[in-house]
Chain A
């Protein structure tokens, strides 16, 4: 009677080796595939993308015409700098250099602006030709704040500003925030956060 047990012929190690290579390849593939997802996730952790929609709920305009007029007469500028005073704007109501606009906004997760996620404030310091340096913070109900600032051209509806920091979930955030007009009075904001 032939012995029924494992038979280790000279072919077996090769078969086992081949099987091992195939299994290894599968494991390798799954590791790489998993790694891909991991990198993508860790990439998402390091390079997060976040899209929200904002709707303005409040606006306060600070007209500093008196400070501007006083500054034309009483200032420490030399003659060279005084000659560089800006020409008057085309619009009689401004905005003029030095004016300030403060915007309050509600933030939503969706384009239909039905799922609120937080609030935001923009403080915009106007300079010339309807441009302003805006300082913004976005406060999220789930926790965390994103701080951003940069120039905004009020003649067009899109802008990109610098994300310079954040708190809690957004601690150490850096990157940029790009805003474009969305439907209705909403604005879509895409955050690209690097870390």
Chain B
């Protein structure tokens, strides 16, 4: 082997070793996925009726809109019981890992702000033993099947993104399937 060839071999080896070390170090901050199924039992519900704010907003507002026809009936009263735009409902849940609700895993809170047609934007958080998961999305009043987007998490769920699929479960429970990606390992 000539000196030049030998030097090239050594230099090549050095570059390869350095590159391998870099890759090894860089791969240290990898991400992972996780699926988690939890069962939620409603614990508290608070309805906030903002009828006075709505009425005030109909007469005094910065827009040139007439929203009375959408919300008010013939007698000047609101049509039905809502929820109407501006109302909000706070749902508190106890969370379990099993359908028998014998293994508690934390609590969840949904704060739902209503728009038109009884649809709400719900901001939720799942306070679990390993950390917090935040999810948001649209939920129609009275419907148990919906999907939320996971916007993040803390501690064991740091860096989380993904979605939460909700559907009715046995009894008065709600089943949440959390599919999370981007979890920091």
Q: Which residues of A contact B (CB under 8 A)?
A: 13, 16-17, 20-21, 24, 27-28, 31-32, 35-36, 38-39, 42-43, 46-47, 64, 66-68, 70-72, 74-77, 80-82, 84-86, 97-98, 125, 127-128, 131, 133, 149-151, 160-164, 174-176, 192, 194
Contact = CB atoms under 8 A, between A and B. Distances in A.
B152 A162 contact: yes
B49 A70 contact: yes
14 contacts: A35-B25, A68-B46, A70-B49, A71-B47, A74-B49, A98-B88, A128-B92, A160-B132, A160-B154, A160-B155, A161-B154, A162-B153, A176-B154, A176-B158
B48 A67 contact: yes
B158 A17 contact: no
B109 A127 contact: yes
A75 B22 contact: no
B159 interface: yes
Given A17-B6, A86-B44, A149-B151, 9 more contacts: A39-B22, A39-B25, A75-B49, A76-B47, A81-B42, A84-B45, A98-B90, A150-B134, A160-B132
B143 interface: no
A70 B134 contact: no
Contacts of B47: 71-72, 75-77
B92 A127 contact: yes
Contact of A164 (B44, B118, B152): B152
A194 B159 contact: yes
B109 A27 contact: no
Contacts of B172: 80
Contacts of B87: 71
B103 interface: no
Q: Is the interface of B mostly helix, strand, loop or mixed?
A: mixed
A82 B10 CA distance: 78
B46 A85 contact: yes
A47 B30 CA distance: 12
A162 B83 CA distance: 29
Among B48, B92, B158, max chain A CB count under 10 A is at B48
Given A80-B172, A161-B154, A164-B152, A67 B125 contact: no
Contacts of B141: 76
Contacts of B177: none
Contact of A67 (B7, B52, B151): B52
B46 A162 contact: no
Contacts of A125: 111
Contacts of B52: 66-67, 70
B33 to A, nearest CB: 15
A20 B92 CA distance: 69
Interface string B73-109: 0000000111100011110100000000000000001
